[in-house]
Amino acid sequence: MNGNPHLFIPGPTNVPDVIRRAMNIPMEDMRAPDFADFVIPLLADLKKVFRQKSGRVFVYPTSGTGAWEAAITNTLNTGDRVLMSRFGQFSMLWVDMAERLGLEVDLCEVDWGKGVPLEDYAARLAADKDHKIKAVFATQNETATGVTSDIAGIRAALDATGHPALLFVDGVSSIASVEFEMEKWGVDLAVAGSQKGFMLPAGLGILAVSDKALAAHENARMARCYFSFSDMIKLNDTGYFPYTPATQLLRGLRLSVDMLLEAGMESVWERHNRLAAGVRRAVDQWQGCRLVAHGPEWHSDTVSAIYTPEGVDARHVIETAYHKYQTSLGSGLAQLAGRAFRIGHLGSLNPVMLCGALSAAEMALVDAGVAIEPGAGVAAAQEHFRATTPPVQKSVTKARAA
Amino acid sequence: MNGNPHLFIPGPTNVPDVIRRAMNIPMEDMRAPDFADFVIPLLADLKKVFRQKSGRVFVYPTSGTGAWEAAITNTLNTGDRVLMSRFGQFSMLWVDMAERLGLEVDLCEVDWGKGVPLEDYAARLAADKDHKIKAVFATQNETATGVTSDIAGIRAALDATGHPALLFVDGVSSIASVEFEMEKWGVDLAVAGSQKGFMLPAGLGILAVSDKALAAHENARMARCYFSFSDMIKLNDTGYFPYTPATQLLRGLRLSVDMLLEAGMESVWERHNRLAAGVRRAVDQWQGCRLVAHGPEWHSDTVSAIYTPEGVDARHVIETAYHKYQTSLGSGLAQLAGRAFRIGHLGSLNPVMLCGALSAAEMALVDAGVAIEPGAGVAAAQEHFRATTPPVQKSVTKARAA
Amino acid sequence: MNGNPHLFIPGPTNVPDVIRRAMNIPMEDMRAPDFADFVIPLLADLKKVFRQKSGRVFVYPTSGTGAWEAAITNTLNTGDRVLMSRFGQFSMLWVDMAERLGLEVDLCEVDWGKGVPLEDYAARLAADKDHKIKAVFATQNETATGVTSDIAGIRAALDATGHPALLFVDGVSSIASVEFEMEKWGVDLAVAGSQKGFMLPAGLGILAVSDKALAAHENARMARCYFSFSDMIKLNDTGYFPYTPATQLLRGLRLSVDMLLEAGMESVWERHNRLAAGVRRAVDQWQGCRLVAHGPEWHSDTVSAIYTPEGVDARHVIETAYHKYQTSLGSGLAQLAGRAFRIGHLGSLNPVMLCGALSAAEMALVDAGVAIEPGAGVAAAQEHFRATTPPVQKSVTKARAA
Amino acid sequence: MNGNPHLFIPGPTNVPDVIRRAMNIPMEDMRAPDFADFVIPLLADLKKVFRQKSGRVFVYPTSGTGAWEAAITNTLNTGDRVLMSRFGQFSMLWVDMAERLGLEVDLCEVDWGKGVPLEDYAARLAADKDHKIKAVFATQNETATGVTSDIAGIRAALDATGHPALLFVDGVSSIASVEFEMEKWGVDLAVAGSQKGFMLPAGLGILAVSDKALAAHENARMARCYFSFSDMIKLNDTGYFPYTPATQLLRGLRLSVDMLLEAGMESVWERHNRLAAGVRRAVDQWQGCRLVAHGPEWHSDTVSAIYTPEGVDARHVIETAYHKYQTSLGSGLAQLAGRAFRIGHLGSLNPVMLCGALSAAEMALVDAGVAIEPGAGVAAAQEHFRATTPPVQKSVTKARAA
Categorize the per-residue pLDDT at C1 as very low, low, confident or very high, splitting at 50, 70 and 90: confident
Assess whether pLDDT exceeds 80 at residue A393.
no
Question: CA C367 from chain center: how many Å?
Answer: 31
C258 vs C264: CA distance, rounded Å: 10
Categorize the per-residue pLDDT at C395 as very low, low, confident or very high, splitting at 50, 70 and 90: very low
Collect all residues with Cβ–Cβ distance below 8 Å to A305 and sequence separation of at least 6: A144, A145, A146, A291, A292, A293, A330, A332, A336, A340, A341, A342
Chain B residues with CB inside 8 Å of D24's CB? Answer: 21, 24
Categorize the per-residue pLDDT at A397 as very low, low, confident or very high, splitting at 50, 70 and 90: very low
Angle D200-C360-C351 from CA coordinates, rounded to 5°? 75
Chain B residues with CB inside 8 Å of A197's CB? Answer: none
CB-CB: which of A21, A28, A34 is closest to C24? A21
Q: What is the pLDDT of residue C396?
A: 38
D253-277 pLDDT, tens digit each: 999 999 999 999 999 999 999 999 9
Pairing of strands C104-109, C81-86: parallel
CB-CB: which of B348, B362, B383 is closest to A2? B348
If one counts every other C-beta atom within 10 angstroms of the C-beta of residue B370, the result is: 18
Q: What is the pLDDT of residue A1?
A: 73
D25 and B21 in contact by Cβ < 8 A?
A: yes
Shortest Cα–Cα distance, D324 to chain B (Å): 25
Query: Are C91 and C170 within 8 A, CB to CB?
Result: yes
Percentages helix, strand, coil for chain A (3-state, rounded to 5) are 45, 15, 40
Mutation target to probe the C interface, by most C beta carbons within 10 A, among A4, A19, A34, A348 is A34
H or E element that contains A36: helix A36-50
- From first to last of the 402 residues of chain B, give the pLDDT tens digit: 799 999 999 999 999 999 999 999 999 999 999 999 999 999 999 999 999 999 999 999 999 999 999 999 999 999 999 999 999 999 999 999 999 999 999 999 999 999 999 999 999 999 999 999 999 999 999 999 999 999 999 999 999 999 999 999 999 999 999 999 999 999 999 999 999 999 999 999 999 999 999 999 999 999 999 999 999 999 999 999 999 999 999 999 999 999 999 999 999 999 999 999 999 999 999 999 999 999 999 999 999 999 999 999 999 999 999 999 999 999 999 999 999 999 999 999 999 999 999 999 999 999 999 999 999 999 999 999 999 987 655 443 344 433
Does the N-terminal peptide bond of residue D12 adopt cis geometry, omega within 30 degrees of 0?
Answer: yes
Collect all residues with Cβ–Cβ distance below 8 Å to B178 and sequence separation of at least 6: B140, B141, B148, B269, B272, B273, B300, B301, B302
Assess whether pLDDT exceeds 70 at residue A398.
no
Q: What is the pLDDT of residue B19?
A: 98
C34 and A254 in contact by Cβ < 8 A?
A: no
A323 and B392 in contact by Cβ < 8 A?
A: yes
Collect all residues with Cβ–Cβ distance below 8 Å to C92 and sequence separation of at least 6: C86, C334
D381 vs D284: CA distance, rounded Å: 10
Share of chain D above pLDDT 90, in %: 96
Helices (H), C237-350: 247-263, 265-285, 314-325
Which residue of chain C is at minimal alpha-carbon distance from D364? Answer: C386
Phi then psi for residue A220, to 5 deg, are -90, 130
A197-216 pLDDT, tens digit each: 999 999 999 999 999 999 99
Mutation target to probe the A interface, by most A beta carbons within 10 A, among D94, D198, D226 is D226
Give long-range contacts, CB 8 A cutoff, 24+ apart: B308-314.
Answer: B308/B339, B308/B340, B308/B341, B308/B365, B308/B368, B308/B370, B309/B370, B312/B288, B312/B365, B312/B368, B312/B369, B312/B370, B313/B338, B313/B368, B314/B338, B314/B339, B314/B340, B314/B341
A128-145 pLDDT, tens digit each: 999 999 999 999 999 999
Give the residue from D141, D146, D145 showing the smallest Cα distance to D175: D141
- Residue B328: CA count within 13 A, CB half-sphere: 25
B329 vs B349: CA distance, rounded Å: 15
Amino acid (1-letter code) at residue C170: D
Which residue of chain A is at minimal alpha-carbon distance from C4? Answer: A26
D131-149 pLDDT, tens digit each: 999 999 999 999 999 999 9
List chains adjacent to chain C, taking adjacency as at least 3 C-beta pairs closer than 8 Å. Answer: A, B, D
Assess whether pLDDT exceeds 50 at residue C398.
no
Shortest Cα–Cα distance, B385 to chain C (Å): 26
Categorize the per-residue pLDDT at C393 as very low, low, confident or very high, splitting at 50, 70 and 90: low
Query: Are D71 and D94 within 8 A, CB to CB?
Result: no
Phi-psi region of B26 (alpha: psi -120 to 50; beta: other; left: phi over 0): beta
Give the residue from A312, A260, A379, A357 showing the smallest Cα distance to A8: A357
What domains does chain D contain, in order, with CATH numbers?
6-12+264-388 (3.90.1150.10), 17-262 (3.40.640.10)
C243 and B64 in contact by Cβ < 8 A?
A: yes
Query: Region C124-135: what's the mean pLDDT?
Result: 98
Q: What is the DSSP string of C64-103?
A: HHHHHHHHHHHH--TT-EEEEEE-SHHHHHHHHHHHHTT-
pTM of the predicted model as reported, rounded to 2 decimal places: 0.96
Collect all residues with Cβ–Cβ distance below 8 Å to C141 and sequence separation of at least 6: C147, C148, C149, C170, C171, C172, C173, C174, C178, C300, C302, C303
A1 vs A303: CA distance, rounded Å: 30
Shortest Cα–Cα distance, D127 to chain A (Å): 30
Query: Are C136 and C168 within 8 A, CB to CB?
Result: yes
D201 vs A248: CA distance, rounded Å: 7
A271 and B379 in contact by Cβ < 8 A?
A: no
C333 vs B377: CA distance, rounded Å: 62
Rg of chain A on CA atoms, in Å: 21
D217-230 pLDDT, tens digit each: 999 999 999 999 99
Lowest-pLDDT range, A38-42, A397-401, C31-35, D165-169?
A397-401
Rg of chain C on CA atoms, in Å: 21
Q: What is the pLDDT of residue D122?
A: 98
> Strand (E) positions, C263-397?
290-291, 303-307, 327-331, 340-344
D341 burial type by CB count under 10 A (0-12 exposed, 13-18 middle, 19+ buried): buried
Which residue of chain A is at minimal alpha-carbon distance from B255? Answer: A1
What secondary structure letter does DSSP report for A80? -
Share of chain A above pLDDT 90, in %: 96
B9 vs C27: CA distance, rounded Å: 10
Which residue of chain C is at minimal alpha-carbon distance from A394? Answer: C34
Does the N-terminal peptide bond of residue A12 adopt cis geometry, omega within 30 degrees of 0?
Answer: yes
The overall average pLDDT reported for chain C is 96
C141 vs C137: CA distance, rounded Å: 12
What secondary structure letter does DSSP report for B296? G
Query: Region C138-165: what's the mean pLDDT?
Result: 98
Chain D residues with CB inside 8 Å of B256's CB? Answer: none
A29-86 pLDDT, tens digit each: 999 999 999 999 999 999 999 999 999 999 999 999 999 999 999 999 999 999 999 9
Amino acid (1-letter code) at residue D95: V
Shortest Cα–Cα distance, D331 to chain C (Å): 17
Q: What is the pLDDT of residue A81?
A: 98
Shortest Cα–Cα distance, B401 to chain D (Å): 7
Categorize the per-residue pLDDT at C400 as very low, low, confident or very high, splitting at 50, 70 and 90: very low
Assess whether pLDDT exceeds 90 at residue A328.
yes
